């Protein structure tokens, strides 16, 4: 498929309720893709900020608990972090978890459909210690 590559930037804004909340944003990304009329290409989903992350997961209540539980074992909240010694905001563990998972996800789409599995949803993870207003970039690069 030649030429005619389009770049479209959209946003998702959300207010998270608190630490370890996982939000399914698949439908919003699908809506942006449908509205773009693009057929083949990639969508990059990127969360602004250093205490949140984007990944995919089977979005069901069990894993919404299991995934944060695993992250807590890796980076316990009650551990001593140098970040907190300096800044006293008590979210050192939030930062290291966010850097490990990463803020970015790129997903191909083909014939206007996201290449996700049936049990694979795009999720936003709030890792900070309190609810926050969040901005997520949804940028589509593709051909019509």
Q: Is 13 in the site for a copy of itself (CB under 8 A)?
A: no
Looking at residue 42, what DSSP letter applies? E
Beta strand 5-15 pairing with 113-114: unpaired
DSSP 49-97: SSSEEEEEE--SHHHHHHHHHHHHHHS-TTS--HHHHHH--S-HHHHHH
Tokens of 1: 């498929």
Residue 143: CB atoms within 10 A of its CB come to 13
**What residues from 97 to 126 belong to the interface with a copy of itself (CB under 8 A)?**
98-108, 110, 115-117, 119-120
User: How big is the site for a copy of itself, counted in residues (CB under 8 A)?
Assistant: 64
Binding mask 27-66 for a copy of itself (x = CB under 8 A): -------------xxx-x-x-xxx----xxxx-xxxx-xx
Q: Is 3 in the site for a copy of itself (CB under 8 A)?
A: yes
Q: Is 15 in the site for a copy of itself (CB under 8 A)?
A: no
Start-to-end CA span in the chain (Å): 9
The footprint of a copy of itself (CB under 8 A) covers 1-9, 40-42, 44, 46, 48-50, 55-58, 60-63, 65-67, 70, 73-75, 81-87, 92, 95-96, 98-108, 110, 115-117, 119-120, 137, 139, 141-143
């Amino acid at each position: 498929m030649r030429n005619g590559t389009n770049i479209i930037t959209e946003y998702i804004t959300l207010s998270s309720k608190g630490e370890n909340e996982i939000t399914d944003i698949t439908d919003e990304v699908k809506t942006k893709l449908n509205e773009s009329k693009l057929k083949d290409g990639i969508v990059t989903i990127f969360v602004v900020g250093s205490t949140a992350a984007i990944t995919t997961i089977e979005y069901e209540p069990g894993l919404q608990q299991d995934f944060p539980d695993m992250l807590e074992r890796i980076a316990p909240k009650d551990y001593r972090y140098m970040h907190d010694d300096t800044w006293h905001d008590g979210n050192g563990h939030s930062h290291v978890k966010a850097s490990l998972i990463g803020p970015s996800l790129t997903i191909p789409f083909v014939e206007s459909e996201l290449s996700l599995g049936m049990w694979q949803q795009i999720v936003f993870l709030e890792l900070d210690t309190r609810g926050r207003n969040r901005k997520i970039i949804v940028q589509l690069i593709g051909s019509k």
